[in-house]
A and B are shown apart, each in its own frame.
Chain A
Amino acid sequence: MKKTPTIALLGNPNSGKSSLFNQLTGLRQKVGNFPSVTVERKSGTFALDHSQTATVIDFPGLYSLYPKALDERVVIDVLSNPQHEDYPDAVIIVADASNLKRNLLLFTQVADLGLPVVLALNMLDVAEDKNLKINAVKLAMKLGVPVVRINARVGEGMDNLKKAIQETLTVNTGFQKYYFDPAEQFPELIGEVKQQYSLRNNYLALHYVQQHDIFSFVSPEKRAALDGLIQKHDFREHGFQAAETMHRYALIDGLVKDSVTTSNFIPKPLWTRRLDDILLHSFWGYAVFLMVMLVIFQSVFSLASYPMDWIDGGIAWLNDGLKSLLPESTLTSLLTDGLVAGIGGVVVFIPQIAFLFLLVAMLEESGYMSRVMVIMDRLMRKVGLNGKSVVPLISGVACAVPAIMSARSIGNRKERLLTILVTPLMSCSARLPIFTILIALVVPATPILGFFTLQGLTLLGLYLLGTVSALLSAWALRGFVPNTEKGYFVMEMPTYKAPRWNHVGIAVWESVRSFVVEAGKIIVAISIILWVLASYGPADSMERAEAQVRQAQPTLSGVDLDNAVAAQKLENSYAGHFGKFIEPAIAPLGYDWKIGIALLTSFAAREVFVGTVSTIYSLGAEVDEDNATLKDRLRAEINPRTGQPTYNLATSFSLLIFYVFAMMCMSTIATVYRETHGWKWPAVQFVYMTGLAYLLAFLTYQVLK
Chain B
Amino acid sequence: MKTIANLKIGESAYIKAFLQPDLSLKLLEMGCLPGEEVTLDFVAPLGDPIGIQVNGYCLAMRREEAATVEVI
Measured CB to CB, the residues of A under 8 A from B are 63-64, 66, 68, 98-99, 101-102, 105, 130, 238, 241-242, 245-246, 249, 265, 267-268, 276, 280-283, 285-286, 370, 373-375, 377-379, 387, 486, 488-493
A242 and B28 form a contact (CB under 8 A):
yes
B44 and A280 form a contact (CB under 8 A):
yes
**A-side contacts of B61, CB under 8 Å:** 488-491
B28 and A246 form a contact (CB under 8 A):
yes
Least CB distance from B39 to A in Å reads 8
Instruction: Kindly state the separation between the CA atoms of A634 and B22 in the bound complex, as whole angstroms.
Output: 59
**A-side contacts of B60, CB under 8 Å:** 370, 373-374, 489-493
Measured CB to CB, the residues of B under 8 A from A are 21-31, 33-34, 39, 41-42, 44-49, 51, 53, 55-62, 65
Instruction: Kindly state the separation between the CA atoms of A283 and B45 in the bound complex, as whole angstroms.
Output: 8
Least CB distance from B52 to A in Å reads 10
Residue of A nearest to B18 (CB): A242
26 residue pairs from A and B, CB less than 8 Å apart: A66-B25, A99-B57, A101-B56, A102-B55, A241-B25, A242-B21, A242-B28, A245-B29, A246-B33, A246-B34, A249-B31, A267-B53, A280-B45, A280-B51, A282-B45, A283-B45, A286-B45, A375-B44, A377-B48, A378-B44, A488-B26, A490-B23, A490-B26, A490-B27, A490-B65, A492-B59
Which of B21, B31, B58 touches A101 (beta carbons < 8 Å)?
Answer: B31
Least CB distance from A322 to B in Å reads 57
With A238-B21, A374-B49 already in contact, the answer to whether A98 and B29 are too (CB < 8 A) is no
A387 and B57 form a contact (CB under 8 A):
no
**B-side contacts of A68, CB under 8 Å:** 26, 29
A492 and B56 form a contact (CB under 8 A):
no
Instruction: Kindly state the separation between the CA atoms of A249 and B25 in the bound complex, as whole angstroms.
Output: 13
**B-side contacts of A246, CB under 8 Å:** 28, 33-34
Residue of B nearest to A102 (CB): B31
Instruction: Kindly state the separation between the CA atoms of A590 and B26 in the bound complex, as whole angstroms.
Output: 55
Instruction: Specify which of A265, A374, A489 lies most central, judged by the most chain B CB atoms within 10 Å of its CB.
Output: A374
Residue of A nearest to B61 (CB): A490
**A-side contacts of B42, CB under 8 Å:** 276, 280
**A-side contacts of B56, CB under 8 Å:** 98-99, 101, 130, 265, 267
**A-side contacts of B26, CB under 8 Å:** 68, 488, 490
A374 and B25 form a contact (CB under 8 A):
no
Instruction: Specify which of B34, B53, B56 lies most central, judged by the most chain A CB atoms within 10 Å of its CB.
Output: B56
With A64-B29, A242-B28, A249-B31 already in contact, the answer to whether A489 and B57 are too (CB < 8 A) is no
Instruction: Specify which of A64, A66, A490, A493 lies most central, judged by the most chain B CB atoms within 10 Å of its CB.
Output: A490
Instruction: Kindly state the separation between the CA atoms of A514 and B10 in the bound complex, as whole angstroms.
Output: 47
Residue of B nearest to A377 (CB): B49
B25 and A238 form a contact (CB under 8 A):
yes
A63 and B30 form a contact (CB under 8 A):
yes
Which of B31, B34, B51, B62 touches A493 (beta carbons < 8 Å)?
Answer: B51
A242 and B51 form a contact (CB under 8 A):
no
Known: A377-B48, A488-B26. 14 other contacts (CB 8 A): A66-B25, A68-B26, A101-B31, A101-B55, A101-B56, A102-B57, A242-B25, A267-B58, A280-B42, A280-B44, A282-B46, A374-B49, A489-B61, A490-B30
Instruction: Specify which of B24, B29, B57, B58 lies most central, judged by the most chain A CB atoms within 10 Å of its CB.
Output: B29
Instruction: Kindly state the separation between the CA atoms of A548 and B49 in the bound complex, as whole angstroms.
Output: 71
**B-side contacts of A373, CB under 8 Å:** 60
**A-side contacts of B28, CB under 8 Å:** 242, 245-246, 249
Instruction: Kindly state the separation between the CA atoms of A530 and B20 in the bound complex, as whole angstroms.
Output: 60
Least CB distance from A26 to B in Å reads 31
With A102-B30, A276-B42 already in contact, the answer to whether A488 and B23 are too (CB < 8 A) is yes
**A-side contacts of B44, CB under 8 Å:** 280, 374-375, 377-378
**A-side contacts of B23, CB under 8 Å:** 488, 490
Residue of B nearest to A490 (CB): B61
A374 and B51 form a contact (CB under 8 A):
yes
A66 and B29 form a contact (CB under 8 A):
yes
Least CB distance from A22 to B in Å reads 24
A379 and B55 form a contact (CB under 8 A):
no
Least CB distance from A176 to B in Å reads 24
Which of A241, A265, A486, A492 touches B30 (beta carbons < 8 Å)?
Answer: A492
Least CB distance from A339 to B in Å reads 51
Least CB distance from A240 to B in Å reads 11
B47 and A378 form a contact (CB under 8 A):
yes
**B-side contacts of A492, CB under 8 Å:** 30, 57-60
Residue of B nearest to A276 (CB): B42
With A64-B29, A281-B45 already in contact, the answer to whether A490 and B55 are too (CB < 8 A) is no
Which of A63, A282, A374, A377 touches B29 (beta carbons < 8 Å)?
Answer: A63
Instruction: Kindly state the separation between the CA atoms of A535 and B35 in the bound complex, as whole angstroms.
Output: 78
Instruction: Kindly state the separation between the CA atoms of A373 and B56 in the bound complex, as whole angstroms.
Output: 21
**A-side contacts of B27, CB under 8 Å:** 490
**A-side contacts of B39, CB under 8 Å:** 267
**B-side contacts of A375, CB under 8 Å:** 44-45
**A-side contacts of B51, CB under 8 Å:** 280, 374, 493
B62 and A489 form a contact (CB under 8 A):
yes
**A-side contacts of B57, CB under 8 Å:** 98-99, 102, 267, 492-493
Residue of B nearest to A284 (CB): B45
Instruction: Specify which of B34, B47, B60 lies most central, judged by the most chain A CB atoms within 10 Å of its CB.
Output: B60
Residue of B nearest to A250 (CB): B33
Instruction: Specify which of A63, A98, A280 lies most central, judged by the most chain B CB atoms within 10 Å of its CB.
Output: A280
Which of B25, B33, B41, B62 touches A377 (beta carbons < 8 Å)?
Answer: B62
Residue of B nearest to A286 (CB): B45
Least CB distance from B58 to A in Å reads 4
**B-side contacts of A493, CB under 8 Å:** 51, 57-60
